[in-house]
Amino acid sequence: RKEVEQDPGPFNVPEGATVAFNCTYSNSASQSFFWYRQDCRKEPKLLMSVYSSGNEDGRFTAQLNRASQYISLLIRDSKLSDSATYLCVGDYGGATNKLIFGTGTLLAVQP
Amino acid sequence: SAVISQKPSRDICQRGTSLTIQCQVDSQVTMMFWYRQQPGQSLTLIATANQGSEATYESGFVIDKFPISRPNLTFSTLTVSNMSPEDSSIYLCSVGSGHYEQYFGPGTRLTVT
């Protein structure tokens, strides 16, 4: 079975903290990975794409370890506006363009 | 990224009825998908909407329950047929890009009473 697994949290962190989310995947055929952010009662929005070993965008860093089938997302200097659910996503593999979504990790940044 | 709209944004329906959800994209896209997100859960792929041919359904989803149309490259509909309370969920359409990323519509929140 193709799965993406995440710690559901919640992660309660103070403003300014650094927080890391971990994700494991079981489908060895997956090549592309993503982190999506989903605010309450909203649709998921693409945060970062991870095609090689990692990607960095401002305060956000994603790392991919294919040998361990492990992806992480690091958020530095957390802001109140970072509070959301973060979804780890991998592709099915092959040419289907289908994605497998993890169950999400809830982050609550406290003032 | 493409601008995606869905109609209706929400609805409350009686069991046994059907609801058709529309997904409109502001540009032509090859890949369109329909997902379900049940309360407190992540997204589950229902089907891939193929332009000009029958949709490709995932395990656990069948055409009789979730008929899908894709008449052109900018529009698709998902019908939830013979609804039961278990169909209460958020239904989302998405469009795919060339690098596997998908972008989502705002979703349709369905409550079945």
Does residue B1 surpass a pLDDT of 80?
A: no
pLDDT the model gives residue A2 = 58
Name the closest residue on chain A to residue B33, using Cα atoms: A98
pLDDT the model gives residue A94 = 77
pLDDT the model gives residue B97 = 82
Dist CA B112 CA B110 (whole Å): 7
Higher-scoring residue by pLDDT: B89, A8: B89
| pLDDT tens digits for range A6-54 | 988 899 999 999 999 999 999 888 889 999 999 999 999 999 999 888 8
Cβ–Cβ contacts within 10 Å for residue B108, how many?
22
Does residue A1 surpass a pLDDT of 70?
A: no
| pLDDT tens digits for range B40-82 | 888 999 999 988 888 999 999 999 999 999 999 999 999 999 9
Q: Is the CB of B106 less than 8 angstroms away from the CB of A51?
A: no
Q: Which residues of B touch A97 (CB under 8 A)?
A: 31, 48, 96, 100, 102
pLDDT the model gives residue B2 = 85
Burial class (CB in 10 A: 0-12, 13-18, 19+), A80: exposed
| pLDDT tens digits for range A70-92 | 999 999 999 999 999 999 999 98
